Structure 1
Amino acid sequence: MFHPLRVSAVEQLTDDAVAITFAIPAELRETFRHTPGQHVALRRVVGGVEIRRTYSICTPAAGAADDPVVRVGVRLVEGGEFSTYALKELGAGDTVEVMEPMGRFAFEPRPGRFAAIVGGSGITPVLSIAATLLAREPEARFCLIRSDRTAASTMFLDEVADLKDRWPDRFQLVTALSREEQQSGLPSGRLDRKRLTGLLPALLPVEDVDGWFLCGPFGLVQGAEGALRELGVARSRIHQEIFHVDGGTSATGTPTTATPADAASAAAAAPAHSTLTATLDGRSGNWPVREGDSLLETVLRSRSDAPYACKGGVCGTCRAFLVSGEVRMDRNYALEPDETEAGYVLACQSHPLTPEVELDFDR
C-alpha cells in the first residue's frame, strides 16, 4: 500500500546523487518502522503513466521507543524518469507516494563478525545494516569493502566516516576506486572475482565471518559471490541484492540474445490457453493469460493493488507462492535458492507452462 509522505529534506550527496528524507506522521510510525536493509517503492504519475522505483533505506532502524526515520539515496540514471525528477525538481515540502518498507535483504542484528562488499549506490542498505548492528551489539564487528568510480562520486562519505570515528575498533573500512588513484589504500581498479579472491583473506579471517552482504551492480555482486564460494564460504552465509542489471544479461550472468529458435521453443512450451488463479489480500480471482503477458500483468488488469516495483526481476516485490501448475521465469535476481526451492516465483517474470496456474501473494 502506498502512502503520501511529505519530503522533509533533499540533500546533495554528489553531483549525481541525493538523499531524500520523508516526514512520517504519527499514525504511520509503526507502518514505516523498517528492518535494516529494507527498501521502499516510490510512485509518481506522469502524463497518466505510473512510474515506480525502488530505493533502499540508509538510516539505522529505530528502537522501539524512537520514531522511524526514512531516508533513501537516489543516484541519477541516464534517461531515468524518477531519478531525474528527484535530482532536478523534488524539494522539501513536496509529497511523494511511498510504499511501506519491504525486502529480503533485511538483517536482524546479532553478535558476530559481518562483512559487506558494495559498489556505488549499493552502500545504501548496507549503511543501515552496519549502523544498526554496531549501535545495538557491543560485541559485533563489521568490515565494509566498497568500490566507487572516483572519490567525488562516492555516496554517504560523511556517514561512513562517522561509523569509523564512533567504532574504530569494531568497524573496518576498505575503499577501492576504479577510475582514480588513492594516496593510501588499495590500488585503482575494479573489484572483480580474481582480485577479491586474493584480497579478502588478507583483510579479514574469511572463515570467521558470520554473514556477507553483497550489494550493487550485477557484475560486482556476481564476482564477489564467486570469490567467496571459491574461498569456501557457505551459500547460506552470503546475502545479496542487485541494484543494476545491464540489458542482455541472463540470471547466470551470461550475455544472451534471443534467437528465432529460442522464441519458437518458448512458444512451443507454453499452452495455447492458460488461466491464472491468484489470491491477494485474502481475495481470489481467475483470469485468462494473454499471449506474451507475465502473470503479474495478468493480475494487474483486474487488481491494480498487485504488488510490484521494478518489473525487472530485481526487487522481489512481486514474489508469490506457486500453489499449482508450472511457470517459466525469464530471469531472477531477487529470490534466494531456498525461496525458489520452496515454491516462490517472481510474478513479473513468470509465464505459464500449464493450462492452469495458481499463485498466492499472501504467503
Structure 2
Amino acid sequence: MATQTDRPAPAVRHGAFHMLRVAAVDQLTDDSVAVTFAVPPELRSTYRFLPGQHLALRRRAVDGSEIRRTYSICGPTLAPDGPETLRVGVRLVEGGEFSTFALKELAVGDTVEVMAPAGRFVLEPKPGHFVAVVGGSGITPVLSIASTLLAHEPLARFCLIRSDRTAASTMFLEEVADLKDRYPDRLQLVNVLSREEQQAGLPSGRLDEARLTELLPALLPVESVDGWFLCGPFGLVQSAERALRALAVPRSRVHQEIFHVDDAVSPAPVTVAAPAHSSVTATLDGRSGTWPVEDGETLLEAVLRNRGDAPYACKGGVCGTCRAFLVSGEVRMDRNFALEPEEVEAGFVLACQSHPVTEQVELDFDR
C-alpha cells in the first residue's frame, strides 16, 4: 500500500516547469540556433544557475504525450539575484522532434515549458588554469563556464580546444572570438576542423586518443592544469579521457558531459536476480511516499506513476536530471553516462536506469 509523509520542502521544486516567453531566436549555423528566454522577476531566483548547467524543455503533443530535451545554458552567470534572460544552444538532430521544432517553428513571443537549471558539469570562478576539450554543440556549456570564469576571476586562465566539422558548422563562432579579444592573455583558443583545411593552425582531422595524447603536452603544461572539462559526442569525450589517463592526469581533475550516446555503445546490462516483490520509498520536494515497483520497471517509472513531478529529461542515463541519493537498499543501473565515479561511490544513482535488487529501496531526490 502506498504511504506518504511530509517534511519541509526545498526552496526550488525539482521537477517543476514554468512557462517562459521566447525573447529571441538567433540563427547560429544552418543547423543550429540560440534560443533566449525572458525570465520574469518573480522567477529569477528559481532560474539562478551555475556556469555549465542545463535546462530541460518540455513540449506537449496534441495526443497528450510530451517531449523533453535538455539544452545547456550558454550565457555567463553575472546576476546574483538571478538572470533576466536564459540562452541555450540547439542543434538539429536527425529525426529529433524538439530540435526540428526549435529550428523550424519556434518564434519570438512563443512560450515554452522550462524546468529549473540542473547539472553538475560546472565550474564556479576560482583561481587556476582550466582546459576544455569540446566537440560540436559541446561548446554550449563551456562557453558559459569560460565567460563566467574570465569575467569574475582575474587570476584564472582558460584553454579551449574545440573540434568542429567545418567553419560553417561551428556554433558560437563570434561569441568565442569576442571572448578571445576581451581576454587575449588569459584565453588560449585552439580550433581543429575534421573535414576542412584551415589556412592557419592545426591540420584537419579528428581529435582521437593518439592525436590528443601528442597534442595536449605540446599546447600546455598538462601536469599543472587544475581542471579538465570534456564535452561533446561520446567518441570525443572517451578519446580525451583516455588521453588524459595516458598522460597521468588524476581522475579527480577530469569532468565530462556527454550529449548523446547511441545504444550500440551502451554496456550490456548486468544480470541480477530481481526480487519477486519490491517497493521504492522516494523523498521529493520534502514529501516521501512508498510505492510498489512493477516487474521490469525502473525506479523512476515507479515513482512517476505516483509523483508526476519527479525530475527527469532524457531517460537515457545521459543528462543526470533524475539523480537521487540511495538511502537504503541495493539497485542495478543499466548504464551511466552522467554521474562521476565519486558521485557513485558517495551513493548517488540515476533513477531512470536503476532497478531494485533488494525488496525495499529508498531514494532521496532532495540531496
Between the aligned partners of 1:112 and 1:319, the Cα distance in structure 2 is 29
SS in 1 for 2:238: helix
Match of 1:146 in 2: 162
Mapping for residues 1-363 of structure 1, pairs under 5 Å: 1-46=16-61, 47-64=63-80, 67-250=83-266, 265-266=271-272, 269-363=273-367
Change (3 A) 1:66 1:354: closer
Between the aligned partners of 1:218 and 1:114, the Cα distance in structure 2 is 21
In the TM superposition, what whole-angstrom CA distance separates every residue of 1:112-152 from its partner, at most 9, and x where no partner exists?
11110000000000000001111111121110000011111
Q: Unmatched 5+ residue regions in structure 2?
A: 1-15
Between the aligned partners of 1:272 and 1:156, the Cα distance in structure 2 is 52
SS in 2 for 1:248: helix
8 Å Cα contact 1:55/1:73 also seen in 2 = yes
- Asked which structure has the greater RCO (Cα within 8 Å, sep 6+), the reply is 2
8 Å Cα contact 2:29/2:168 also seen in 1 = yes
1:70 to partner: Cα distance? 0.7
8 Å Cα contact 1:275/1:357 also seen in 2 = yes
In the TM superposition, what whole-angstrom CA distance separates every residue of 1:63-104 from its partner, at most 9, and x where no partner exists?
326744310000001111100000000000000011111110
1:250 to partner: Cα distance? 2.4
Instruction: Tell me the amino acid that sits aligned with residue 41 of structure 1.
Output: A
Between the aligned partners of 2:229 and 2:364, the Cα distance in structure 1 is 29
1:289 to partner: Cα distance? 1.0
Between the aligned partners of 2:257 and 2:26, the Cα distance in structure 1 is 25
SS in 1 for 2:199: coil
Match of 2:11 in 1: none
Between the aligned partners of 2:206 and 2:327, the Cα distance in structure 1 is 43
SS in 2 for 1:307: coil
1:34 to partner: Cα distance? 1.3
Q: How high is the sequence identity, in percent, across the aligned residues?
A: 76
Instruction: Tell me the amino acid that sits aligned with residue 99 of structure 1.
Output: M
Q: Give the ranges of 4+ consecutive aligned residues of structure 1 lying more than 2 Å apart after TM superposition.
A: 63-69
Aligned residues: 351
Q: Unmatched 5+ residue regions in structure 1?
A: none
8 Å Cα contact 1:229/1:235 also seen in 2 = yes
Instruction: Tell me the amino acid that sits aligned with residue 103 of structure 1.
Output: G
Between the aligned partners of 2:49 and 2:361, the Cα distance in structure 1 is 33
Change (3 A) 1:116 1:97: same
1:173 to partner: Cα distance? 0.6
Between the aligned partners of 1:68 and 1:334, the Cα distance in structure 2 is 29
SS in 2 for 1:244: coil
Between the aligned partners of 1:288 and 1:182, the Cα distance in structure 2 is 59
Between the aligned partners of 1:353 and 1:67, the Cα distance in structure 2 is 43
Between the aligned partners of 1:292 and 1:99, the Cα distance in structure 2 is 28
Between the aligned partners of 1:196 and 1:219, the Cα distance in structure 2 is 13
Instruction: Tell me the amino acid that sits aligned with residue 64 of structure 1.
Output: P
In the TM superposition, what whole-angstrom CA distance separates every residue of 1:37-67 from its partner, at most 9, and x where no partner exists?
0111001101211111000000000232674
1:356 to partner: Cα distance? 1.3
SS in 2 for 1:332: coil
8 Å Cα contact 2:41/2:84 also seen in 1 = no
Root-mean-square deviation over aligned CA pairs: 1.3
